[in-house]
Amino acid sequence: MPWTLSYATLASMITPWQLPPQPYKLAPREMHIWRVVIPRSLHSLSGLKSLLNEEELTKAGSYYFDRDRNCYIIARGVLRTLLSSYLNTSPLALQFTYNQHGKPFLLNSPLYFNVSHSKDIILIAISNQEKTGVDIEHMDSSRDYLKIAQRFFSPGEYQALIACSKENQAEAFFNIWTAKEAYIKAVGKGLWIDLNSFAVSVWPTAPACLLHSADETIADWHLQRFNPWEGYKAAYAVSPGIEQINFYEWVKCQ
């Protein structure tokens, strides 16, 4: 689905996920965002687990709860499956490394990726741009939005949030939160970046954008929100060299 859809349409609709063409191919200015629905993927758990290396299996075993362990196995197994398909290699042949802030990269590869998970949904973004980030959040109604925003958002973002009507505050909060998370993940510094040191736009009917940043040039970024599933919000952040976004559903059985 290209960016030719209006911003308002993309922000208000449930994103139309499609089955991918075979074989997987990524054009130079293209990004693919994959949706993995965890309950649908549990039947593939043993096959995906067999794709993990020793370090990943150890990490999987460190999770106390089955749901967290299963989520990690599915996310890492699908990631290996996808990357190996793009690169036409074995999933176990892939070697990951990490930058000083913990963001993972592939060794000796032109592909970059980012993974996000919330409740039952995993998103995996893959592109040839190093600055690639994606975030998904389940809209948990039990959260104290204003308290979180007052602590972590920029003053302008917080003022925009409290100016919203109460019925719209949850959506506005997650519009801000997912865009901020996608941005810091794309930068590659994660929570090493102070969340109130930069600001993003709020309203879903206007283009998502980086309004200001203490460390980055605003023109170097493209942000966009989308609705990955009912009750969830998501956003991606990439360099402006990306001109095409396709949304794919992962359904492969192992």
Domain count, the chain: 1
Q: Point out the residues of the chain with pLDDT beneath 70.
A: 1-15, 190-192, 204-207, 212, 214-219, 253-254
Sheet (strand 222-226) strand order: 132-138, 232-238, 222-226
Contacts of 90 (CB under 8 A, 6+ apart): 84
Q: What is the pLDDT of residue 64?
A: 95
Which amino acid is residue 97, in one-letter code? T
| Element at 124 (helix H, strand E) | strand 121-127
Tell me the residue range of the domain where 97 lies: 7-249
Residue 2 lies in a domain: no
Contacts of 95 (CB under 8 A, 6+ apart): 106, 107, 108
Q: What is the pLDDT of residue 143?
A: 81
CATH number at residue 86: 3.90.470.20
Q: What is the pLDDT of residue 210?
A: 80
Q: What is the pLDDT of residue 115?
A: 97
Distance CA 84, CA 92 (A): 8
Sheet (strand 244-249) strand order: 112-118, 121-127, 30-37, 244-249
Distance CA 101, CA 188 (A): 7
Distance CA 105, CA 98 (A): 6
Measured from the Cβ of residue 238, the count of other Cβ atoms closer than 10 Å reads: 25
Q: Per-residue DSSP letters for 190-205?
A: GGGS-GGGEEE---TT
Measured from the Cβ of residue 241, the count of other Cβ atoms closer than 10 Å reads: 14
Q: What is the pLDDT of residue 1?
A: 35
Prediction pTM value: 0.90
pLDDT, one tens digit per residue, over 220-244 is 788 899 999 999 999 999 987 888 9
Q: Tell me which residue of 89, 187, 81 sits closest to 124, measured CA to CA.
A: 81
Backbone φ, ψ for residue 166 (5° rounding): -60, -35
Contacts of 44 (CB under 8 A, 6+ apart): 74, 77, 252, 253, 254
Residue 116 lies in a domain: yes
Distance CA 157, CA 167 (A): 17
What are the residue ranges of helices labelled H in the chain?
7-12, 38-41, 45-49, 54-61, 66-87, 145-152, 155-162, 166-187
Residue 182 lies in a domain: yes
Residue 100 lies in a domain: yes
Residue 1 lies in a domain: no
Q: What is the pLDDT of residue 21?
A: 87
pLDDT, one tens digit per residue, over 163-202 is 988 888 898 999 999 999 999 999 887 666 788 888 888 7
Pairing of strands 104-106, 112-118: unpaired
Q: Taking a C-beta distance cutoff of 8 angstroms, is the pair 199, 156 a contact?
A: yes
| Structure tokens, 149 | 């925003």
Q: What is the pLDDT of residue 167?
A: 86
